[in-house]
Structure 1
Amino acid sequence: MRRTDTMQQAISPAISLAQQTPKRIRIAWLLLLGILLMAVMGALLAGSFSVSFAEIGHVIYVRLAGMPQSGTLDTIIWQVRIPRIFAALLLGTSLAAAGAVFQALLRNPLVSPDILGVSAGSGLGAVIAMLLGLSLFWLQVLAFLGGLAAVFLVYSIASLLRQRDPILMLVLAGIAIGTMLGAGISVVKVIADPYDQLPGITYWLLGGLNGVSMAELSWAAPLILAALTLVYLLRWHINVLSFDDEQASALGINVAQSRWVLIAAATLMTACAVSFSGIVGWVGLLVPHIARLWVGPNMSRLLPFSIVLGASFVLLTDTLARSVSELELPLGVLTALLGGPFFLFVLLRSNRP
């Protein structure tokens, strides 16, 4: 029997409610795609400058037809709202996919991408750039490198404790490194200029997509898509790695190598996202958990469903953040306000007999 067939037979008892309820999956996908479409249209329409469907259609037609563009409406649609929509979709996709990967690899549905210190590392890199007065480009570069360095440090420490449970050591090392990096962020905030630098540092750490441009996303998008493609190609490896290491090795998986590759890909997605958005929590924790309740733990279904659900959630939340009042709310604050109570509701609902 081929190795792929052996894997599928081995994991079939644990995977998935979805195989017995295809109608439920189709309904969930139709509902989710409808929500995503409405979220995109709502993001185009919402804002302090009101526009209509007809005006949006005209602006898009003029641009696609190659006709000369001018006016405030064209600027708002193409230079403000469309880049922000793309950034929200990219952010939601990255955090949700990374959350699904980490939860499967660490065999715990209550972990998130920042469990290995990615967010804290990216945050420290960004606030150091702000403290030094560096440009936005270097802020994004240092945020990206900070996230990668944090996970490399966590994984190196966990590798020194190989005689113990590798998953537990990875999580504990991540908690310790994340705490130290968070302390480093606090130190930078203390020594920063309270009138010039501290407000910008504080606002960035709250997370948000205001002012994002396509130029800022041009380098992050290819890296995120490349990492996402790699994760999708290795989705069956993730299914097998959710078992004990001995079982995964018996099925022909190089456990250490596969886990490192997948963690690196998930870290790359998270670090790229944090570099242009700031720290936005709850997406990587909440979205995969909800998706798992709908489609089961099989990554062939869970990963794409989490991606679309995460993109929809972040886009809707960002639209609400800039529309609920005249003063735009930080995206990270709003995701916490919405995600915390909703996650408790999901837990209570899933705990019913």
Structure 2
Amino acid sequence: MKNIKPISWIIGSTVLLLVVATLSLLWGQYPITLETLIGYLQFKVLGGVGNDTYTLLDNIILQIRLPRVLLAILIGSALATSGAAFQAMFVNPLVSPGILGVLAGASFGAAMGMLISEQWYVVQLLAFAFGFVAVGVAVLIGTMVTNSRSTVMLVLGGVISSALFTSLLSIIKYLADPYSTLPAIVYWLMGSLTMADLHGVLLISIPMLVSVIGMIVLGKYFDLMSLGDEEAKALGINVTMIRLGAIILATLASSLSVVMAGIIGWIGLIIPHIIRMAVGPSHRLLMPLSAIVGGAFLLLADTISRLAFTVEVPIGILTSLIGIPVFIIVLKNARAAWN
């Protein structure tokens, strides 16, 4: 499989993403046929005489399904590329987007926002802000011990930061109203795309796409950094700047994901593994494929969560249930993929 040309992988994964996106638009409590969807798209692009069905589809597609499809693709891409970037920076296949505490910090910020305000934009703002604060704490701890390897101290700083903000989150839960605020916090932490709206998705897409594209561009440097810091410096790579840039981009992407959908785990861990097993360790191909396949994976999981049961299952629960057995299978080949 690794002998397949890179462009073939890109095209194939893009086709997969488009197929899943189309199915997600068609499937739901109100099923839509492909013929009806094509007619509706022709009507929206070319104009003509509409009917009551197209008026109904405006609400179903533009207000409900399309925002969820776009948001799922964005978040899946952001988490998968962030995971691949962190794994490359720390030369460790077991790290994920939450390694520096961004998910714990964003969770605390969102929970605090729900406690002090009923305005959703306050919740989102605090989630975003504390995601960066948590990473700042991790980096600060990581730079305190100058005689230790920076990557090791960054990981330890992330562990401490995650523990700190997880503890603060527990305090928020304890103080929250058990009949209203606490259930809202718990449900949000499970991860969900139900809050997606077209305006918000389009607004968040700009910085999220910039982050994803930025990490893809850095892929060629990740290959050199995998040789070790000293070897990369000898080849003319500014390791500190590349690592700092990757951390900022991955933190921005992960924080925005939490802002829009809560905690969605495992994508940043398993998707890069799967891609690495298929195409090899080169980040020039690994990064863009992680973005495309990550988007398709989360979109498929969201479609299943909407259709599998009479009540929608939080997407974070479903990704965990899928991710755990997949990761067990992936672990069998992880050593060979990283060698």
| TM category, shorter | over 0.9
How far is the alpha carbon of 1:352 from its aligned partner? 8.5
Runs of 4+ in 1 over 4 A off after TM superposition: 25-31, 66-70, 349-353
Which residue of structure 1 lines up, in the alignment, with residue 256 of structure 2?
Answer: 272
Which residue of structure 1 lines up, in the alignment, with residue 4 of structure 2?
Answer: 22
Q: Can you list the C-alpha shifts for 1:163-195, whole angstroms capped at 9, x where unaligned?
A: 101111111110111011111111111110111
- For residues 281 and 82 of structure 1, what CA distance do their matches in structure 2 show? 23
Q: State the TM-score, normalizing by the size of structure 2.
A: 0.93
2:62 matches 1:59: no
- For residues 35 and 222 of structure 1, what CA distance do their matches in structure 2 show? 23
Which residue of structure 2 lines up, in the alignment, with residue 3 of structure 1?
Answer: none
Aligned amino acid, residue 44 of structure 1:
L
Work out which of the residue numbers 157, 173, 176 in structure 1 matches 2:141.
157
Instruction: Please list every run of 5 or more consecutive structure 1 residues that lacks an aligned counterpart in the other structure.
Output: 1-16
How far is the alpha carbon of 1:157 from its aligned partner? 1.1
RMSD between aligned alpha carbons?
Answer: 1.9
Work out which of the residue numbers 117, 124, 128 in structure 2 matches 1:133.
117
How far is the alpha carbon of 1:29 from its aligned partner? 4.4
Which residue of structure 1 lines up, in the alignment, with residue 20 of structure 2?
Answer: 39
- For residues 226 and 118 of structure 2, what CA distance do their matches in structure 1 show? 42
How far is the alpha carbon of 1:242 from its aligned partner? 1.8
- For residues 33 and 166 of structure 2, what CA distance do their matches in structure 1 show? 44
Q: How does 1:195-274 map to 2 (within 5 A)?
A: 195-274=179-258
Aligned amino acid, residue 30 of structure 2:
F
How far is the alpha carbon of 1:342 from its aligned partner? 0.9
How far is the alpha carbon of 1:349 from its aligned partner? 4.6
Q: How does 1:332-351 map to 2 (within 5 A)?
A: 332-350=316-334
Aligned amino acid, residue 22 of structure 1:
I
**Aligned with 1:115: secondary structure?**
coil
Q: How does 1:67-106 map to 2 (within 5 A)?
A: 71-106=55-90
Q: State the TM-score, normalizing by the size of structure 1.
A: 0.90
**Aligned with 2:295: secondary structure?**
helix
Which residue of structure 1 lines up, in the alignment, with residue 31 of structure 2?
Answer: 50
How far is the alpha carbon of 1:281 from its aligned partner? 0.2
- For residues 35 and 234 of structure 1, what CA distance do their matches in structure 2 show? 25
Say if 1:348 and 1:114 are closer, same or farther in 2 by CA, change over 3 A.
same
**Alignment check: 8 A CA contact 1:206 1:333 kept:** yes
Which residue of structure 1 lines up, in the alignment, with residue 313 of structure 2?
Answer: 329
**Aligned with 2:146: secondary structure?**
coil
Q: Can you list the C-alpha shifts for 1:93-152, whole angstroms capped at 9, x where unaligned?
A: 100010110000010011100011011111111111101124111211111111111111
Instruction: Work out the number of aligned pairs and report it.
Output: 334
